[in-house]
Structure 1
Amino acid sequence: MGPHPGQKTVLITGCTPGGIGHALALEFHAKGLHVIATARNPAVLSDMAAMGMTALPLDVTETESIKACHDEVAKLTGGKLDILVNNAGRTHTHPATDIDLDDVRETFETNVFGVMAMCKAFADQLIAARGLIVNIASLAAITPYVFGSVYCASKGAVTAYSRTLRLELKPFGVRVMVAMTGTVRSQIASRPHRTLPEGSIYMRVRALFERRLTFSQNNATMDTAEYARKLVKKALAPEWPLLFRAWFGRPDWFWAGGMARGAWLGTWFGEWVFDFVLYRMIGMPQLERVLREEERQKKLV
C-alpha cells in the first residue's frame, strides 16, 4: 500500500523494533504520514507493514541495497520524498588504545558513510519535494565520552557533514536537521558488547569499563516514545526565519534525550566543563588512585 494522493512521505533507516527508528516510524504514522520503514532484515518490520506502512530491505553500507531502495521509493511516491531520517547506526564502546581498526571501519561505514550515501542517493527525491533530512547524531559528537572515542568521532563527523550539507542544499529548498540525542531507551544493552583485550591498560578498572557499556541505559534515560514525539513534532513544525527556528519552528539543531539540556548549556561555557563532568561521571579518578597505589607499592619493593 502506497501513500494517498497528497500524503507526505518519510523514509526511516534502522527501524528494528525496540529502537529509535521504530518509535519514529510509529509516531510519524500516527501523525498521518506514509512511513517507509527500512531494516536489513525486513521480516522484523511485519507489524508495521500490517499497520499500512511500507517495509523495505535496506543496508546503508551496501550501494546496491541503497539503489534498490531508492528505485522502490521512486515507484511508490512518484519520485518525491518529503523526509529522510538517517537513524541506522551502531554503538562502539572501547578504549582508544584497544581499538581494532577493522571494527572501527565497520562503525564508520554505518554511522558516517551510510548517512552520506543515503543523502546522495535520495537527493533527487528530496529536492523534488523540497523536503527535510534528519540526521540522528548524539551528544557524543561534542562530549569526551570516555571509552567512546570511535563513536564520538563518528557522530562528530555526522554533525560536521550535516552543517555543510545544510548550506549546499539550501538553494534547492531542502532543509537539514541534526538530532543531538542524549540517553534514550533502546536495545543497546541487550546486544553483545566488546571486551577489554588481554593486557589492556584499563584492565585495572575493568568494572568501570563494563559499567560504561550500558551507561546510556541507566543515566537519565528518556523513554524512546517520548523522544520520538518530541522529534516528530519539531520535524513537522512550520518554517520560521532563521533567528526564530529553535524556539518556534523546525530547528536546525534538535536537542532531546537524557542530559541533552545540560550538554546544550555546557556549549556556552567551554569544553572544560565537559572534561570536568564526564571524567568524574565515568569514574576516571578511580584509575588515578589505582595508579598512585601501584607507584607506592613499587617504591616499597
Structure 2
Amino acid sequence: MGPKPGQKTALITGCSPGGIGHALCLEFHAKGVHVIATARNPAVLSEMAAMGMTTLTLDVTKEGSIKACHDEVSKLTGGKLDILVNNAGRTHTHPATDLSIPDVRETFETNVFGVMAMCAAFSDLLIASRGLIINIASLAAVTPYVFGSAYCASKGAVTAYSRTLRLELKPFGVRVMVAMTGTVRSQIASRTHRTLPEGSIYERVRAIFERRLTFSQSNPATMDTTQYARKLVAKALAPEWPLLLRAWFGRPDWFWAGGWASKVWLGQCIGEWVTDFIMYRMMGMKTLEKVLREEQRTKKLE
C-alpha cells in the first residue's frame, strides 16, 4: 500500500523492533505520514506492514541494496520523498588502546559512510519535494564518552558532515536536522558486547569497563524511546520559521533530546572542561588513578 495523494512520506533506516527507528515509525504513522520502514531483514517489520506502512529491505553498507531501495521508493512515491531519517547505527564500546581497526571500519561503514551514501542516493527525491534529512547523531559526538572513542569519532563525523550538507542543500530547499541524542531506552544492552583483550591496560578496572557497556540503559536519566520519538517527530513536522526562531518554534537545525542532553548542551555553552570534569569522574577514571597510585606505592615497597 502506497501513500495517498498529498500524503507526506518518510523513509527511516534501522527500524528493527525495540529501537529508536521502530519508535519513530510508529510516531510518524500516528501523525498521518506514510512510513517506509527499512531493515536488513524485513521479516522483523511484519507488524508495521500490517499497520499499512511500506516495508523494504535495506543494508546501508551495500551500494546495490541502497539503489534497489531508492528505485522502489521512487516508484512508490512518484519520484519524491519528504523525510529521510538516517537512524541505522552500530555501537562500539572499547578502549582506544584496544581497538581493532577492521572492527572500527565496520562501525564507520554503518554510522558514517551509510549516512553519506543514503543522502547522496536519495537527494533527487528529497530535492523534488524540498524535503528534510534527519541524521541521528549522539551526545557522544561532543562528549568524551570513556571507552567509546570509535563510536564518538563516528558520530562526530556525522555532525561535521551534516553541517556542510545543510549548506550545500539549502539552495535546493532541502533542510538538514541533526539529532543530538542522549541516552534512550532500547535493546542495545541485550546485545553481545566486546570484551577486554588479554593484556589490556584496563584489565585492572574491568568492573568499570563492564558497567560502561550498559551505562546508556542502566542510568536513571535514560529517556523512554516513545517519548524521544514523540519529541523528534513533533519537531520534524513543525512549520518553517526564520533562522533565529527555529530552535524554539520550527524545525531546528539541531535537536537535543534524551538522557543528559540538556546538561551536555549547557556544558557546551560553558566550556568543554565542564563535560571533561564530569565524565572523567562519572566513568571511573579517578578510580583508575587510585589503582595506579597504589600499584606504584607497592612497587616502591618491594
Q: TM-score, normalised by structure 2?
A: 0.99
After the TM superposition, which residues 184-223 of structure 1 pair with which residues of structure 2 at under 5 Å, given as runs? 184-219=184-219, 220-223=221-224
- Distance (Å, rounded) in 2 between the aligned partners of 1:268 and 1:12: 31
Could you tell me how far apart the structure 2 residues matched to 1:152 and 1:267 are?
16
Q: Does 1:122 align with 2:83?
A: no
Question: 1 CA distance for matches of 2:56 and 2:205?
Answer: 44
Unmatched segments (≥5 aa) in structure 2: none
For residue 40 of structure 1, report the CA deviation from its aligned partner: 0.2
Residues of 1 paired with 2:250 and 2:132: CA distance? Answer: 13
Shift of 1:283: 1.1
Partner of 2:21: 21
Q: Which residue number in structure 2 is paired with residue 79 of structure 1?
A: 79
What is the CA-CA distance between 1:141 and the residue it aligns to?
0.2
> How far off its partner does 1:112 sit?
0.1
SS at match of 1:35: strand
> 1:289 & 1:277 partners in 2: Cα distance?
17
Q: Could you report, residue by residue, the CA deviation over 1:226-264 in whole angstroms, capped at 9, with x for unpaired residues?
A: 000000000000000000000010000000000000011
Q: Deviations over 1:198-249 (max 9, x none)?
A: 0000000000000000000012110000000000000000000000000010
* Structure 2 counterpart SS, 1:176: strand
What SS does the aligned partner of 2:269 have? coil
Question: In 2, distance between residues paired with 1:25 and 1:189?
Answer: 21
Quote how far apart the aligned CAs of 1:271 are: 1.0
Rounded to whole Å, the distance in 2 between the matches of 1:296 and 1:169 is 59
What per-residue deviation string (whole Å, max 9, x for no partner) do you get for residues 105-134 of structure 1? 000000000000000000000000000000
For the residue of structure 2 that corresponds to 1:159, the secondary structure is helix
Residues 226-245 of structure 1: pairs in structure 2 closer than 5 A:
226-245=227-246
Q: Deviations over 1:134-192 (max 9, x none)?
A: 00000000000000000000000000000000000000000000000000001100000
Q: How many residues align?
A: 301
State the one-letter code of the partner of 1:85.
Answer: V
Which amino acid in 2 is paired with 1:17? P
Matches within 5 A, 1:1-301: 1-219=1-219, 220-301=221-302
Amino acid in structure 2 at the alignment position of 1:160: A
Q: Deviations over 1:55-111 (max 9, x none)?
A: 000000000000000000000000000000000000000000000000000000000
Q: Counterpart of 1:11 in 2: which secondary structure? A: strand
Match for 1:92: what amino acid?
A: H
Inter-partner Cα distance in structure 2 for 1:177 and 1:97? 33
How far 1:286 sits from its partner (Å)? 0.6
Aligned mates of 2:300, 2:262 — CA distance in 1 = 46
Tell me how large the CA RMSD over aligned residues is. 0.3
Task: Return the alpha-carbon distance in structure 2 between the equivalents of residues 38 and 178 of structure 1.
Answer: 20
In the aligned structure 1, how far is the partner of 2:282 from the partner of 2:174? Answer: 39
Counterpart-to-counterpart distance in 2, 1:66 and 1:80 = 16
State the AA in 2 paired with 1:236: L
- Identity, in percent, stands at 84
TM-score (norm 1): 1.00
Instruction: Give 5+ residue unaligned stretches, structure 1.
Output: none
Tell me which stretches of 4 or more aligned residues in structure 1 moved more than 2 Å: none
SS across alignment from 1:36: strand
Mapped to 2, the partners of 1:96 and 1:29 lie a distance apart of 40
